[in-house]
Homo-oligomer: A and B are copies of this chain.
């Protein structure tokens, strides 16, 4: 087969080039959405601004929505990596939990301050890639909570899934808070409900 005879280095260069073009398309689209709004951006504009032909653009993405999904997925993937890093730098289950929840609050703050974040979420909320990425975020938080519960650092009378849902929503409040100090207080407040030895749930 022909493909087998292409040198490995050449394949790698093509791969790197394709990745670069793809990233450039996402960046351009993000910039255009910032300028014109979500629904005013066309494939022709994106191709022109990226400096590629329309035909080339269509080899990468079928439509604007596909680009927005890729863009959003890139964001959520970066958030996931950020959370995993925060988790892995801490030592005990309790420290890991605090680090992850703090990172979550900062992500919520950043997302709320992105242009068109609400519209984008609404546009993509039924997309399965986005749903998958969100599920991964949820699972990361849930697992850190489950570890801390097993270690006796937080209450173990709630399903970890419910605690994770509570945390993610409570920390979304960071999006409307005005200061770093207020975000810190929110994390402390959210953690308070998780302490062991609290009143049993009804």
Contacts and interface: CB of A to CB of B under 8 A. Distances in A.
A49 to B, nearest CB: 25
A60 interface: no
A185 interface: yes
Given A172-B169, A173-B165, A199 B188 contact: yes
Interface residues of A, number: 33
Interface string A137-156: 00000000000000000000
B162 A168 contact: no
The quantity of this chain's copies bound in the complex is 2
Nearest to A170: B170
A169 B165 contact: no
How would you classify the secondary structure of chain A's contact residues: helix, strand, loop or mixed? Answer: helix
A201 B177 contact: no
A158 B177 contact: no
Interface string A191-202: 011000011011
Contact of A118 (B122, B170, B189, B199): B122
A114 B121 CA distance: 16
Interface of A: 118-119, 121-123, 125, 158, 162-163, 165-166, 168-173, 176-177, 181-182, 184-186, 188-190, 192-193, 198-199, 201-202
9 contacts: A122-B122, A158-B189, A162-B185, A165-B186, A166-B190, A169-B172, A169-B173, A189-B193, A192-B192
